Amino acid sequence: MWIATKTTPKPYYSLHSHLHCSTVESRRYVVAMAKKNLEESDVGINCYVSSLPGFRAILKQRYADFIVHEVDSNMKVVRLTSFDIPAEDNDEKEEEEKDKNSTDQSFGKEIEAFRLIAGEKDAEMLEGFLKSIGNGAENNSEGPKLIILSPVADKAHRTEVHNFFKKNFKFFITDTVEDSNGIKCVRVRFCLGGEDSRSQCGKKRKGRGGKSSNNDRPFDSRGSDNWPEHLGKFLRFNLCKENKDTQDALGVIGKMLGIQVRSFGFSGTKDKRSVSTQRVTVFKQRVKKLASLNNRLFGIKVGDFSYVNEGLLLGQLFGNHFTITLRGVVTDSKDNVKSAADGLGRNGFINYFGLQRFGSGSIPTHLIGAALLRGEWEDASKLILDPRDGDILFYSFFLILLRYEVREVREYYKKTGDIDKTLRDLPRYLVAERSMLQCLKKCPGNFLQALRAIPRTLRMMYVHSYQSYLWNHAATMRVQKHGTAQVVLGDLVYNKDSPPEKLVQNDIHISEDDSICCMDEISESAASAEDIHHVKIINSDDILEGSYNFDDIVLPLPGSRIIYPENEISDVYRELAKKDSISLCETVHGAKEFSLTSMTGAYRKVFQRPIDFTWELISYSDSTIPLAETDFDAISKTKACSNHLENNESDKKDLSCSLDGVDDPKVQFNSNSDALPTQVALKLGFTLPSSCYATMAIRELLKTSTSVAFHKSLNV
């Protein structure tokens, strides 16, 4: 049997003997880092809160071993519980029938008004179109599906026509097309506002004259405002997904709905390698249309629908609730596991930024951030675009091949500079790389412009990663120097008498597959508006009064609106930044966005206790059997139970619903001597505030590395 023991953290300064004072040496350090897997000590993760011994266990052997439920701002856990359509949406057919009937009314005044704008010919055309619709011709394949008004070169006149239809005929959609002579015309089409027509009317034109027929060309979305007044403009739903990050899941749904991912709103991204549930909003979509996708979605389900007036924004949550199963526990005594679990709930953990903050590739994101802060645009670009060792290390044979192909593409570009072929071969999930190459194709050699072509939240992730790198080292120094028992002179704490203020502090994380998407093995808000508390510096009176303790200590993320501790901990920031040739207080280049002085900064608690912490030991013999119930399991069981009762009226009194195919996630002890060897798993449940890493809680428990590579080695 094997027991992990607490390693004594290395002295602070020994961690940085490799760091540099010159840019040349910094490049050598980057090259050295690129040849090794990122270790926790590389990014300042060294200390533990308790001296309790750890143990060996496997994190994320299965997706369902890591379950994440969003906790909203009202402390309510978000779960997928129902696929039912809300009552307010059941009148959709009624509304469509009402809209249809309204087209058969007399529009004498409107037609006369249109005659004054467009002339006799177009007015008669409109009147005939209205009559045909009133007679039901819109459902007749032989009837007119649209009309095209007389050609008009005057844009102001066409705008007047568009506005007229917008105001007087909301069941019509208008857009501008070209006739055979290339002269622009206004096209008018009937749109009931139902699912099919709304979907069709919501698409933008893809081309102009000659490239497609008038009838085939999709309509512009201008004026398509048939939304019922009694419904909120946003459809809110709960999204449950397995082994997909938030952006990927919404991309799939958006493609099916014919809308872009940016149409969705959410509070924070969730981990890819997990089963997670979170709340999402989408603008002006009907429940029936979204609910109908459930039969076609794989590893994704949507439900718990409602209409609301406001969409979700990043950061609008309290945090996340985690259900984590650690399999294959190896220890000399179960008492060690029990003591460690109790200790985590009682003592908490150091609130480090986890390894995923710095990426899983061989080029850590904070090194790219450091190059940006120094103004080394070409070097930063190469760090993003060049081949990397991590491109051939991943989960399965297929993905190893994919990674190998990515490396081949990177090497091809480095050798040839052929942007066109590189873009053809480079996977679309590599958003940063593709954005840069597309810019470099237009502006060769302009590396700053290429970096700015990366979507803002993604390019700022590199600088935020460097902030986190400094913070982690400062937290380690604080614990090594002064322990976790009490506050000391010069510590920073939140001022309990001052309310927080709202400041912008974007946050994003890199995923396990190195796409620049968030990976939330964390309780992460990706906050767009973060609470920035006023802080105070601990003085001798505070220590005598005992008003503050270690739980209250915060450390800053560098920026223009923060202060540093008034003790030796502040030296960590300055010395590390100096060795990286980075200024904390001034801009050394012209690109303000890549400067710490242009960022507000923030404060982060050094210590965190898990909320509502629970744990249990489970014995199991089959590693393929789930040990925790996901929302997929729960809703499938409920649905199966309902179907069973409907199909077996005589069994309605039997509410146990013990059905074939519905697994009980509780594992029973097997006394059969011929059974597989029994193993032990530890199941944890706890809630963390936004921006806290669950993997750092697991690290405190196990006293082992949280790196993906380490836990894969245990899973062999």
pLDDT tens per residue across span 417-469: 999 999 999 887 788 999 999 999 999 999 999 999 998 888 899 999 999 99
Enter the tokens of residue 380: 């930063």
Please, which residues bridge with residue 241 across strands?
Answer: 276, 300
Token readout for 648 is: 């077996």
The two beta strands, 66-71 and 275-283, are parallel
Mean pLDDT of the chain: 78
pLDDT tier at 128 (50, 70, 90 boundaries)?
A: confident
Q: 241-278, pLDDT tens digit by residue?
A: 999 888 889 988 998 898 888 889 999 888 788 999 99
Using N-to-C axis directions, what is the helix angle for 456-482 and 431-442, rounded to 10°? Answer: 130
| Cα–Cα dist 430/406, whole Å | 10
Q: Give the confidence band of 144 by pLDDT, cuts at 50, 70, 90.
A: low
Beta bridge partner(s), residue 494:
535
Q: How far, in Å, CA of 143 to CA of 132, rounded?
A: 7
Which residue in 267, 258, 263 sits closest to 319, CA to CA?
267
Exposed, middle or buried by CB within 10 Å (0-12, 13-18, 19+), for 87? exposed
> Do 678 and 669 touch, CB atoms closer than 8 A?
yes
Residue linked to tokens 């909003």: 281
For residue 41, give the 3-state DSSP assignment. helix
Whole-number pLDDT of residue 27 = 52
- 0.75 surpassed by pTM: no
What percent of the chain is predicted at pLDDT more than 90? 49
Cα separation, 385 vs 379, in Å, equals 10
How does pLDDT run across 611-648, given as a tens digit for each residue? 999 999 999 998 888 999 999 998 887 765 555 545 55
Ordered domains of the chain (ranges, CATH) = 69-73+76-82+235-320 (3.30.2350.20), 106-201 (3.30.1370), 355-454 (1.10.1510.30), 457-498+533-605 (3.30.2350.20)
Q: What percent of the chain has pLDDT over 70?
A: 71
Residue 403 scores a pLDDT above 90: no
Examine the pLDDT at 597 and tell me if it is beyond 70: yes
Q: What is the pLDDT of residues 163-206, one digit of tens each?
A: 999 888 877 889 999 887 788 999 998 865 444 444 445 444 44
Range of weakest confidence among 237-241, 254-258, 378-382: 254-258
The residue among 621, 602, 294 whose CA lies nearest residue 464 is 602
Those residues with Cβ within 8 angstroms of residue 86's Cβ, 6 or more apart along the chain or in another chain = 287, 305, 306, 307
N- to C-terminal Cα separation, the chain: 17
